[in-house]
Structure 1
């Protein structure tokens, strides 16, 4: 782009910076949401709630299915981008 382009885009720098920050926050939130250790902890907590009678079998099954889906997406991400820890799920159809 060059110096002239950078000078012309200088007024948009705060917007570009805010966009970068927003992308970083979203990436970190997704990383934490799909973290296999976090999903395992939630599954363990869910089993404890069922054992203590705090939830019924139907609620357990529904929430367990959601957590297992998250775990599957986490494994797909790891397979798609080894070492990076982040890759969008292939079924979301997002473009960058």
Structure 2
């Protein structure tokens, strides 16, 4: 960035800073939302709510499915060792 463009864009620096901070906050919130430990704690709380009679079985099953889907998305998908590798991929079966 040149001297002239730096001087001209200087009034926008606070706006760019706020945008950068808000992007970091969104990233941190998404990471916490999809943290496996947090999801497991939500599943435990859901089970307690069902045991205490606070929610019905249908609501439990819907919420449990949503949480398990979130948890499943966070797990790395592994390929099976018995799957044949394509020639030239560099991997071993």
**Regions of 4+ moved over 4 Å:** none
Q: TM-score, normalised on structure 2?
A: 0.74
Q: CA deviation at 1:9?
A: 1.3
5 Å matches for 1:24-35?
A: 24-35=24-35
Larger Rg: 2
C-alpha RMSD of matched pairs (Å): 1.6
- Secondary structure of the residue that 2:55 maps to in structure 1? coil
SS in 1 for 2:54: coil
Q: Please list every run of 5 or more consecutive structure 1 residues that lacks an aligned counterpart in the other structure.
A: 80-96
Instruction: Give the C-alpha shift of residue 8 in structure 1.
Output: 2.0
Larger proportion of helix: 1
Structure 1 residues 1-96: aligned runs within 5 Å: 1-75=1-75
Using the size of structure 1 for normalisation, the TM-score is 0.71
CA displacement 1:39-94 (0-9 Å, x = unmatched): 00000111111112111110000100111122123235xx7xxxxxxxxxxxxxxx
Structure 1 position 5, deviation (Å): 2.5
